[in-house]
Amino acid sequence: MTYAIITGAHFFPYAWFYRTKAFAYMAGVISVGAMLLGLRVGPQELYLIPGFVAGAMVVLSALLVIAYKQNAKLYLEPVSAFSSV
């Protein structure tokens, strides 16, 4: 459960760095979802946690592809480090 929570929580900075809300949403979903699963299921069902995280990663990947396609033109513009100097 702890690894799943850390896996989810480490996506929060990516939301700021890449300016994509999908990372922030899924960071919360993965962290809280893994904690709730860990607290609710018995020892025989703990295999659900990595399955949940894997499924959430697939959803995150789909959301990132959608976000990229919406902003592809912005991402492909050349960036000049000294344009304001």
71 HSE (CA, 13 A, CB side): 12
pTM of the model: 0.79
Torsion angle in degrees (nearest 10) through CA of 49, 52, 57, 60: -130
Query: Is 85 within the bounds of a domain?
Result: no
Structural domains of the chain, count: 1
Query: Is 84 within the bounds of a domain?
Result: no
The per-residue pLDDT for 63 is: 95
Over residues 62-76, mean pLDDT: 85
Query: Is 81 within the bounds of a domain?
Result: no
> Chain centroid to CA 78: how far?
26
Query: Is 65 within the bounds of a domain?
Result: yes
Q: Domain of 70?
A: 2-76
Query: Is 82 within the bounds of a domain?
Result: no
pLDDT above 70 covers what percent of the chain? 91
Query: Is 15 within the bounds of a domain?
Result: yes
Asked whether residue 36 carries a pLDDT value surpassing 90, the answer given is: yes
